[in-house]
Amino acid sequence: GRGGSRSILQGLTGYTKPGEVLAIMGPSGCGKSTLLDTLAGRLGSNTRQSGDILINGHKQALAYGTSAYVTQDDALITTLTVREAVYYSAQLQLPNSMSKSEKKDRADMTIREMGLQDCMNTIIGGYWGAKGLSGGQKRRVSICIEILTRPKLLFLDEPTSGLDSAASYYVMSRIASLDQREGRTIITSIHQPSSEVFALFHNLCLLSSGRTVYFGPASAANQFFALNGFPCPTLQNPSDHFLRTINKDFGEDIEQGSAGKKTTEEMIDILVMSYKSSSSYQEVRREVAELICKKEGGALEKKRSHASFLTQCFVLTRRSFVNMYRDLGYYWLRVAVYVSMALGLGTIFYDIGSSYSSIQARGSIIMFITSMLTLMTIGGFPSFVEDMKV
């Protein structure tokens, strides 16, 4: 378009209900993360959105405490234990109207819900080669921190990225169990789930180049592809088959039943047009219209605000001191540098006397120490960057 703009998502329609998991799937660059960011209200200032996002039939912004977003990369302070990381977050996120014991109980309960009770006192690890939690456990700690406020909506950006199939299934099964028990609505983008993980999804949104290839029950996606001449081979993971069929990056020709070979672009066009004319699409439109008319549940109620400014300052300062004390590279090596510098300068300028020339020497050492201390403070900037991520 003009000015170098382009459409990332095109005419998407869908819905999800409380107690259900909606999976957004598609090849790399298809718009999964953009759709998730749009739904979560996290679009950048250089992106323009058209269309409506309705919550219980109401057009409203997501207020504090009503939703949570788990990013693809785990932003955790590696020197803390699981209990400390979750408890510090509870002190920051939960309101002052809750007592310390209530916040501690909420943190412990959340840890147990995600199956981390056996490693509550384990260091998260990862700094200076320190061993700690596995990738799946770190991902569950990130989820723990986000669900402390008991949000009604939970967004997850590729929660199984970098995990093996067993860890991926354990993470997703824990998420699905929370979803069913608390009636939480979960929307997740996911790249290539195993067949066991795929079976946990209630609805599937399959994207290719920003267009909807399929939206509907995950269990019915196989039938949709089979009816359009792309049946899933026996004993093959359905998600692998779907992604291979609609991935145009490699431009393979694939058999379409008796119609012969088709290019990937042709297959995507066939599937998009078939979906638009299918009963599944009509069912989605009917369901969306029904939800808008019913407006069940009303607008999401804003949760009580997070901790006060003074509480946040106290908790963040305490957490920072704990982190510094345990981080060998950040604290103890710097102490060693300061001690070495003090001994070296003390040796060089030892017994300089009280003559006129010693005044210049004393002025030089004062300037050197002042400059050195000023420059050494730059070493603290990386820790501020890490804290900002958390």
Chain centroid to Cα 2, Å, comes to: 33
Residue 222: band (very low, low, confident or very high) from pLDDT cuts 50, 70, 90: very high
What pLDDT is attached to residue 213? 93
Q: Residue 104 is which amino acid?
A: K
Token representation of residue 349: 């300028």
Could you give the angle at the alpha carbon of 148 between the alpha carbons of 24 and 187, nearest 5°? 10
Residue 146 near residue 86, CB atoms below 8 Å: no
Q: Residue 233 is which amino acid?
A: P
What is the 3-state composition of the chain as percent helix, strand, coil, each rounded to the nearest 5?
50, 10, 35
Could you give the angle at the alpha carbon of 139 between the alpha carbons of 133 and 145, nearest 5°? 105
| Structure-token match 């058999």, residue found | 255
Decide which of 228 and 45 is more confident: 228
Report which secondary-structure segment, H or E, holds 2. none
Decide which of 265 and 211 is more confident: 211
Selection from 303, 302, 306, 327 nearest residue 88 by Cα: 306
Of 9-23, 127-141, 297-311, 360-374, the least confident: 297-311
Report which secondary-structure segment, H or E, holds 7. none
What pLDDT is attached to residue 1? 44
Average pLDDT, the chain: 85
Q: Which residues of 145-172 are buried (b: 16+ CB within 10 A; e: fewer)?
A: bbbbbebbbbbbbbbbeebeeebbbbbb
* Chosen CATH of 20-252+261-294 out of 3.30.70.330, 3.40.710.10, 1.20.1740.10, 3.40.50.300: 3.40.50.300
Residues 6+ apart with CB under 8 A from 360: none
Q: Phi and psi for 342 in degrees, rounded to 5?
A: -65, -45
Average pLDDT over residues 24-46: 88
What pLDDT is attached to residue 80? 92
pLDDT over threshold 80, residue 128: no
Average pLDDT over residues 302-326: 83
What pLDDT is attached to residue 198? 93
Average pLDDT over residues 22-28: 92
Beta bridge mates, 255: 261
pLDDT over threshold 60, residue 258: no
